[in-house]
Amino acid sequence: MNDRIHFTKGHGTENDFVILDDPDGALELDAATVAALADRRAGIGGDGVIRAVRTRRAGIEAPADAPEWFMDYRNADGSIAEMCGNGVRVLAAHLQRAGHVREDEFAVWTRAGARAVAILQRPPSHGGTWSVRLGMGESRSTQNARTVEVAGHMLSATDVDMGNPHTVAFLPSGLSLEELDLTRRPALDPEPVDGANIELVVELGQRHVVMRVFERGVGETRSCGTGVAAVAVAAALRAGDDTGQPWTVDVPGGRLQVGWTATGEVTLTGPAQLVAEGATLV
């Protein structure tokens, strides 16, 4: 691990991240360092680590017109992830607070491509909550023969690609979402080649659902932005809802809104909060 690493801690609906400000790409961020930073007992603690780095200094391949800033996102176990919806919103708040961007609308480069950000509301001081809308790109959904095993039930599932893979299953009546044991990953059959984030969902009302998520490389988290978007896509498909009207998705850490643009891009709107900053001592 590096001798001293400065960090900011933030979360979006309690999906929390360690943010490393590395504009010039000076940090050597390996899996062991990420895991140490994300460790909730021996480190800072978080569902993931975000390195805020200029795209041209990130050591990645990117098109010439890629946005200036890249979200280098790592899961808590150190593995690399393609995309993180809550993470981009928290990163957007960090970039504006740090003075790296001044516009309320800008784009961020991710491993899943460019993602458009709109700051809808900023706090009056350094603390408080930001409201951020994020363009998630177009979704790709597949209703296939995949099943999720939960509490002895084999549930049919829908695969949704939001730049990263998701498997969404709706619980039958009589099976309590709150009482599910997600300390261990539900089994998928067949298993996706690259794994998947698993979302379990219950309908609450018109265009309103509640979910829990087991994230790939992390475990159960209080929220997952791409998972929320995937659930809304699957719920609209299941309901035969092609109106493009927004869906409300409740997660253990709060509430998010998922909408669609006129061109079919999925949007995710919700809070982002920066809560602490400091430096590691190891």
The predicted model scores a pTM of 0.94
Q: Which amino acid, one-letter code, is at 217? A: G
- pLDDT tens for 211-262 read 999 999 999 999 999 999 999 999 999 999 999 999 999 999 999 999 999 9
Q: pLDDT > 70: what percent of the chain?
A: 98
Q: Do β-strands 197-205 and 165-170 pair in parallel, antiparallel, or remain unpaired?
A: parallel
Q: Which amino acid, one-letter code, is at 38? A: A
Determine the Cα angle at 28 with ends 108 and 195, to 5°: 60
Query: Once rounded to an integer, what is the mean pLDDT over residues 99-128?
Result: 93
Write out the catalytic residue numbers: 84, 224
Q: How far is CA 53 from CA 7, 60, 91, 94, 277, in A?
A: 13, 11, 11, 12, 17
- pLDDT tens for 170-198 read 999 999 999 999 999 999 999 999 899 99
Neighbours of 93 (CB within 10 A): 25
Give dist(CA 155, CA 211) in Å, integer.
Answer: 15
At 2, the pLDDT band (50, 70, 90 cuts) reads low
Mean pLDDT taken over the chain = 95
Neighbours of 104 (CB within 10 A): 14
- pLDDT tens for 70-89 read 999 999 999 999 999 999 99
**pLDDT for 1 beyond 60:** no
pLDDT (0 to 100) of residue 63: 97
